[in-house]
Amino acid sequence: MDKLGDAVLDHDTDSIIYASNDKNDPHGNFLGSSPTNWMVKLFLTSPLFTGGPKNYAYRTSKGKTCCKVRGFALNFKNSQTLNFDSIKHLVCALDQNDTISIHDAAKITRDGKKRSYQY
């Protein structure tokens, strides 16, 4: 990250999202120095919208969108509601009370204290 400096847009324990200028690509010849081993490189055509750690949405230069939200399984049904446009709306909304409701009746959860499952 020191090598990338101000180009770093966001980072996590296993990835770095940064603005590339083709001069700051940290490629290397040694094991672990390849971007595919330790970094996610994105070619963004629109802004990255992030609501905090493990909560972001972006669109690549090829038009593909990606949405990650901690705690939610983004299956087909959920991704109809929770997607690039909805994350963009929530992050940019002036109303702090905006919400998105997702009800997943098929979700199985585990209660660790009671050692039981809820269906």
Q: Are residues 95 and 55 in the same domain?
A: yes
The predicted structure's pLDDT at residue 27: 58
pTM for this model (two decimals): 0.56
- Does some domain include residue 118? no
**Which residues of the chain register pLDDT less than 50?**
31, 36-40
- Does some domain include residue 119? no
The predicted structure's pLDDT at residue 108: 64
The region that residue 54 occupies, defined by phi over 0 for left and psi between -120 and 50 for alpha, beta otherwise, is left
Host domain of residue 66? 46-104
Q: Are residues 52 and 18 in the same domain?
A: no
CA distances (Å), 46 to each of 62, 88, 97, 107, 116, in order? 11, 11, 25, 33, 44
In total, how many domains does the chain have?
2
Q: 74 and 56 in contact (C-beta within 8 Å)? A: no
65-69/55-59 β-pairing: antiparallel
The predicted structure's pLDDT at residue 29: 54
| Structure tokens that stand for 14 in this block | 């296993």
Q: 87 and 69 in contact (C-beta within 8 Å)? A: yes
